[in-house]
A and B are shown apart, each in its own frame.
Chain A
Amino acid sequence: MNHGPDLFQLLTVFILAIFVGFEVISKVPTTLHTPLMSATNAIHGVVLVGAIVIVAQLFGGGTPSTALTVLGICAVALGTINVVGGFAVTERMLQMFKKREPAKK
């Protein structure tokens, strides 16, 4: 039996995190907007944690139907694409942001 989590505690966390998000991001210069977007993109890949939990829950109640198993595997796969792809791409972009000495000539 699922009993509802404490809504207001969760809402509090939600609202506070939004403020933190605005606060942290407002200082990023335009140069870094793309890596930033791509890094935040990777961070929302944390949905993978949710996908893993749901698959474990699925199997916790006995052997699930094939259809649900496939859905669960897809959720995990999509989440992983998001995480792995997101961080890898950001790393590739940031590798290019090297400071070159102005006295190169």
Chain B
Amino acid sequence: MTFDLQSLLLDAAELAAIVLFILGLRFLSSPATARLGNRLAAVGMLIALVAVLYSTHALGWWAILAGIAIGAAIGFFSALKVKMTAMPQMVALFNGAGGGAAGLISSVEFFVSVHPYGWTISVSLVLSAIIGCLSAAGSIVAFLKLQELMTGRPITYKGQQVVNGIVALGIVVLGVMLIATQGVDPAWVFLAMLAAALLLGVFFVLPIGGADMPVVISLLNSFTGVAVAITGFELNSNLLIISGSLVGASGTLLTILMGKAMNRPLTNVLFGAFGSGGGMETSTSSGGQQNVRATSVEDVAVMLAYAQQVVVVPGYGMAVAQAQHSVRELADQLEKRGVAVKYAIHPVAGRMPGHMNVLLAEANVPYNQLYDMDDINPEFPRTDVALVIGANDVTNPAARNVASSPIYGMPILDVDKAQNVVVLKRSMRSGFAGIENPLYELPNCSMLFGDAKASVSALTAAVKAV
């Protein structure tokens, strides 16, 4: 009887965790309740963990506690230390950890289970091992790219897709072997499959450029979700299945939303090798554009100080320069003078969905001053100055009218329709070979060269002095 009571308690705890996860996600959909949402989900996690720890009867307790202690120390310390600008790579690493855990669970299961172990386990074990490894390896490459430990540019070579195809085929063959025999194969078959899955994870992220990273991170997040859900099939756990598929579904949805925002199908992001680092960074083509007008801090300060409405368009360049606090100070100065300041957030600005929102929130910019693309575009004709800070492709009018441009059809922020456009960039030459931005040659556009943070601080001082 005691046994029944215990499994009843465990089931009840898992159910509570599931409900808290769903409620948590629900509350995350409004800025006012988002914190509560996160905490509800965390409480759900705690309940599930306490229940499962209790249910293990202290079997292997020292190994479990050792793992938890190590993981908690690493996770907590890195979460506390990470800079807001480095958030995309941090999320990528945590995601990789989850994928890796799923892969390892399947590995342990493979080696300890009594073979043959039935179809459900055999299929789910193989799938979760593959997807988990794929996600872990892919996340690590994404991390390396974002942390700039390796080039953020797409790495492509001739026959790349053929090579990837062969690796994928290898995974399928080995996986089918393992499933067909329900794991009776020698260990090398399983290990070879893991190795191939890790390799494919690396290969699959290599050709994806820095600018497409938000899409990739979101996709990898959903991969890990799916891996976790499938691990749930393996362990016969509703909790894992439900939580994993919640994440899988939400990650997929986010990925689709971002693909739509760029007006590019996902296949194009993954295989197109566009986003050639040029992206939203402070970079542009290698000197093809001559007719740009450089301006001075003083000129821009006067222009800003006497404007009615200024729209700030932040991009990855602002993140790189850590300029968000300076931007907010500038905005405060302008607001003191009665200038209306708004922020235009392109859905794929930065390296992570909502990246700019997080940075500006860190700098205490109230979120009701942040406008989505569709809400701010009609405002540009009424705007005196559009201040573009380290954003590039998302302001490129070629997306509207040059059919040959690689970004043709991508919805952009119509900054060119503002009375004046001031673009803060490091230089015309520096950076990677990106896509030319005809915006810079327009008569109403001028360029303020220099480090974004230094420029913005100088502008703030100059506005004060006006």
Interface residues of A (CB under 8 A from B): 1-5, 7, 10, 13-14, 17-22, 24-61, 64, 68-69, 71-100, 102, 105
Q: Are B80 and A38 in contact (CB under 8 A)?
A: no
Q: Are B101 and A75 in contact (CB under 8 A)?
A: yes
Q: Are B76 and A55 in contact (CB under 8 A)?
A: no
**Nearest neighbor of B361 in chain A, beta-carbon distance:** A96
Q: Are B370 and A31 in contact (CB under 8 A)?
A: yes
Which segment of B23-31, B200-208, B416-424 sits at the interface? Answer: B23-31
Bound complex: CA of A54 vs CA of B181, how far in Å? 22
Give which listed residue, B35, B52, B249, B335, contacts A22 with CB less than 8 A: B249
Please provide the chain B residues from 101 to 138 with a CB less than 8 Å away from any CB of chain A in the complex: 101-102, 104-105, 107-109, 111-114, 117-121
Q: Mind listing 6 A-B residue pairs with CB under 8 Å?
A: A18-B246, A44-B95, A54-B105, A82-B97, A82-B98, A85-B94
Bound complex: CA of A25 vs CA of B94, how far in Å? 21
Give which listed residue, B56, B224, B358, contacts A35 with CB less than 8 A: B358
Q: Are B98 and A47 in contact (CB under 8 A)?
A: yes
Which segment of B36-44, B145-153, B310-318 sits at the interface? Answer: B36-44
Give which listed residue, B29, B70, B105, B109, contacts A29 with CB less than 8 A: B29
**Nearest neighbor of A31 in chain B, beta-carbon distance:** B357
Bound complex: CA of A71 vs CA of B84, how far in Å? 32
A-B contact count, CB below 8 Å? 403
Residues of B within 8 A of A22 (CB): 249-250, 253
Please provide the chain B residues from 58 to 88 with a CB less than 8 Å away from any CB of chain A in the complex: 59-60, 63-64, 66-68, 70-72, 74-76, 78-80, 82, 84, 87
**Given known A30-B347, A43-B41, A72-B60, contact A99–B366 (CB-CB < 8 A):** yes
Chain B interface, >50% SS class: helix
Please provide the chain B residues from 309 to 331 with a CB less than 8 Å away from any CB of chain A in the complex: none
Give which listed residue, B243, B246, B353, contacts A30 with CB less than 8 A: B353
Which segment of B165-173, B228-236, B265-273 sits at the interface? Answer: B228-236
Residues of A within 8 A of B57 (CB): 56
Per-position binary interface string of chain B over residues 209-250, scored 1 when its CB falls under 8 Å from any chain A CB and 0 otherwise: 000000001100100110111011111111111111111111
**Given known A7-B120, A10-B233, A89-B79, contact A59–B63 (CB-CB < 8 A):** yes
**Nearest neighbor of A15 in chain B, beta-carbon distance:** B245
Contacts A37-B218, A46-B228 aside, 19 further interface pairs with beta carbons under 8 A come to A19-B249, A24-B26, A29-B372, A34-B353, A37-B221, A42-B94, A43-B21, A46-B48, A47-B240, A50-B102, A52-B49, A56-B59, A58-B108, A76-B64, A78-B98, A78-B100, A80-B68, A82-B94, A102-B368
Q: Are A21 and B76 in contact (CB under 8 A)?
A: no
